């Protein structure tokens, strides 16, 4: 199945000039959803991953399923103010603003091999912020996974991510 055809593109959302890739239409299709989860799980099955770290909110959907499939724990990275215990926080720039994400201070250990998963890699700001949070917890190794990668966006932040093994299912 050509998964790119399952992703709805919404022009000028959330602001003028942005071509938003909406994965909710992919998630509606059981075969497409299964294909995405299976592809990511198969790719990372033999990497020794102990925790899948996913970003709020669309990252949670596939990240949780992948964690289950590869027998790993699941760690949420949430938006500011949503986690109840001690946290590390990281601010980052979006294509259309600034935001902040957080992780519990005790979510990972130095023995963890981590897969950071999110739905979309655009400029790399969110992924780099997640990577910075995970690195504060001194984990053993980090991998990165995305459903969609906007490869036409070549940014300095994406170059920083190039030092990590990264897999994306759909490229634009």
User: Does 58 participate in catalysis according to the annotation?
Assistant: yes
Q: Which of 56, 93, 95, 160 does the annotation list as catalytic?
A: 95
CB 164 within 8 A of CB 140: no
Q: Name the residue among 80, 122, 123 with its Cα closest to residue 99.
A: 80
User: Does 8 participate in catalysis according to the annotation?
Assistant: no
Q: What is the C-alpha to C-alpha distance for residues 113 and 140, in angstroms, rounded to an integer?
A: 5
Q: What is the C-alpha to C-alpha distance for residues 24 and 20, in angstroms, rounded to an integer?
A: 12
Q: Which of 58, 93, 160, 165 does the annotation list as catalytic?
A: 58
Q: Kindly list the catalytic residues.
A: 58, 95
């Amino acid at each position: 199945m050509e998964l790119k055809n399952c992703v709805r593109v919404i022009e000028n959302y959330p602001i003028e000039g942005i071509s938003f890739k909406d994965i909710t239409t992919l998630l509606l299709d059981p075969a497409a959803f299964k294909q995405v989860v299976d592809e990511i799980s198969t790719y990372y099955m033999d990497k020794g991953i102990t925790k899948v770290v996913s970003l709020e909110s669309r990252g949670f959907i596939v990240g949780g399923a992948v964690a289950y499939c590869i027998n790993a724990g699941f760690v949420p990275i949430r938006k500011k103010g949503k986690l109840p215990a001690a946290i590390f926080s990281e601010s980052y720039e979006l294509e259309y603003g600034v935001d902040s994400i957080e992780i519990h201070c005790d979510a990972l250990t130095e023995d963890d091999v981590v897969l950071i998963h999110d739905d979309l890699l655009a400029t790399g700001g969110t992924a780099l912020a997640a990577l910075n949070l995970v690195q504060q917890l001194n984990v053993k190794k980090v991998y990165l996974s995305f459903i969609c990668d906007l490869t036409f966006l070549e940014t300095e932040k994406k170059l920083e991510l190039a030092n990590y093994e990264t897999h994306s299912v759909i490229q634009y």
